[in-house]
Amino acid sequence: MAELPNEARATELRNTVVDQLKDGGWITSPSVEAALRKVPRHLAVPDVPLDDAYSTYNAVVTQQDAEGVHTSSVSAPQIQAMQLEQARIRPGDRVLEIGTNGPNAAYLAELTGPTGEVTTMDIDLAPAARARRFLAEAGYTNVRVVVDDGEYGLPAHAPYDAIVVTVGAWDIPPAWTDQLKEGGRLVVPLRINGLTRTYAFARQGGVLTAESAHVCGFVAMRGDGARNAQEFALPDDPGVTLRFDDGVPVDPQLLVDTLNTERVEIWTGVSVASNEPIGTLQMYVATMLPGYCNMFIDQDETTGKVGPTGLNFSLVAVDGPNLAYVVVRRSEDRKSAEFGVHAFGPDAENSAHRLADAIRTWGKDHRSGPGPRITVYPAGTADEQISGDRVIDKKHRRISISWPPAK
């Protein structure tokens, strides 16, 4: 069979992507479906093969820094569809996009229609230039492209019916709420204790209430809203790195002799199927255990004291000189895996049991549930005005987290 012309092939691939996203439940509305079928996203990445431009679940990296860190990309269609569904854009809406590369702004323009207004902004000149070129070539001449720091939104064109953030954020600055209409929606990939979810928040006064959340990954925010996690290598094993997202809760010197103590091992009896999502387990441990962090092991540098965890990274709870972390052991047929805990330190036994009990509580009460309820308050809100199982404080916000049991 003769090879199809590029545009015909692009249309075929675009429709295949949409069909896959509908089958997977990521596209649920006719308006989002129509937008993704229409916008020629491949024009934004002209040097990339069509199959890569229309990869359903993979982003196209368009820029990285000298260390190889990705600083700009065109998100995967699955991620874009997910956020567009969360935003619930309607014809006539005024929308601000923070973080740009072109195609997503075009999707927003399709959803708002000729009576709506879309502004897309980026702190970097290069992505903004690429977006302008793409939008002009694709025929979306009514989209405003601005170069500025998204931390402060864009008050000149506020208030917005929706603000869609397409960079990973550690906090929610006041501008994003102040520039949002009452009842408007903020869609943002927010990092809580190192775990990023794209949340759809509805504004009610100064309070944001999450209505949905999905696991995701995004290029990190730059500018005044940037926030890097703090890392340090374990003193007795330079190949093991602990990464704390909200500040190091202990003096690292307390861990100097931790790995020289006897290791405690506990198995929880909680097993998951090989294809079962464990995002709520990660979030439960991250939000309900003080001293939470992530642990990464460099197999070429580690002494082997910690040993393989069976995971790409491990969930960890640090309590003074004690260190407990999650491990897995797979069944003989590789179809399931059981969670366990290893712990070191002078009180390793109790540290291990605390983490194991958290895993068991998740398995009993939350594994089939909807995940946590997230409510975001302004910094300075009094404790008595906040309900929830745990409050995590950031610079601008107090994040309340509660875990309803599965029905």
The residues carrying an active-site annotation are 75
Distance, first Cα to last Cα, the chain: 54
For residue 159, whether the previous peptide bond is cis, meaning omega lies within 30 degrees of 0, is: yes
- Cβ within 8 Å of residue 24, ≥6 positions away: 78
Q: Which residues is 339 bridged to in the sheet?
A: 328
Q: In what order do the strands lie in the sheet with 230-234?
A: 230-234, 237-244, 292-297, 314-319, 322-330, 336-344, 264-273
Q: What HEC string does 32-58 produce?
A: HHHHHHHCCHHHHCCCCCHHHHCCCCC
Nearest Cα neighbor of 394 from 371, 374, 406, 377 is 377
Structure tokens at 390: 């745990």
In the structure encoding, which two tokens stand for residue 398, read together?
Answer: 């107090």
On the 0-12 / 13-18 / 19+ scale of CB atoms within 10 A, 48 is middle
